[in-house]
């Protein structure tokens, strides 16, 4: 991975306390984020989110809200992405938007049934 992208991910992690990993594989790109859940407890819970796309995918991105369950995903179109850098930029923006929605309580939670 290019040093510029690594530096940007490290800065993002420090500023937002969201752990991010990204990889530019030969045939696809992916970004995985561990987003902290806002809560009033001593435990720090995170939820993972994974984004997969590639140069020839015409802006289509697979979004796994629960990467452990590969059957549950959605497809989004992020527009033209000419490089891995473009993909990382759009993924980081999506991660921040998702975190803000979650912090405001706009995302659906699991109520009291979560373990």
- pLDDT (tens digit per residue) in 56-109: 999 999 999 877 777 889 999 999 999 999 999 999 999 999 888 877 765 544
| Lowest-pLDDT choice from 17-26, 37-46, 57-66 | 37-46
Joined tokens for residue 15: 């500023």
Q: What is the pTM of this model?
A: 0.80
pLDDT higher for 22 or 107?
A: 22
| Helix, strand, coil tally for the chain in percent (to 5) | 30, 25, 45
How far is residue 47's CA from residue 23's CA, in Å, rounded to a whole number?
19
Q: How far is CA 58 from the centre of its chain?
A: 19
CB atoms within 10 A of CB 14: 9
List the strands of the sheet with 46-53, edge to edge.
Answer: 19-24, 29-36, 46-53, 60-64, 74-77
Rounded to 10 degrees, the C-alpha dihedral 85/86/88/94 comes to 160
- Using alpha carbons, select from 99, 90, 92 the residue that is nearest to residue 60: 90
């Amino acid at each position: 991975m290019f040093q510029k992208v690594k530096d940007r991910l490290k800065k993002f992690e420090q500023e937002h306390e969201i752990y991010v990993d990204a990889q530019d594989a030969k045939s696809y790109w992916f970004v995985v984020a561990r987003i902290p859940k806002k809560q009033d407890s001593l435990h720090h819970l995170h939820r993972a989110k994974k984004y997969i796309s590639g140069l020839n995918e015409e802006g289509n991105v697979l979004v796994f809200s629960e990467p452990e369950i590969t059957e549950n995903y959605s497809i989004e179109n992020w527009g033209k992405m000419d490089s891995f850098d473009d993909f990382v930029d759009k993924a980081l923006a999506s991660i921040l938007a998702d975190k803000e929605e979650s912090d405001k309580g706009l995302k659906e939670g699991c109520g009291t049934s979560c373990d």
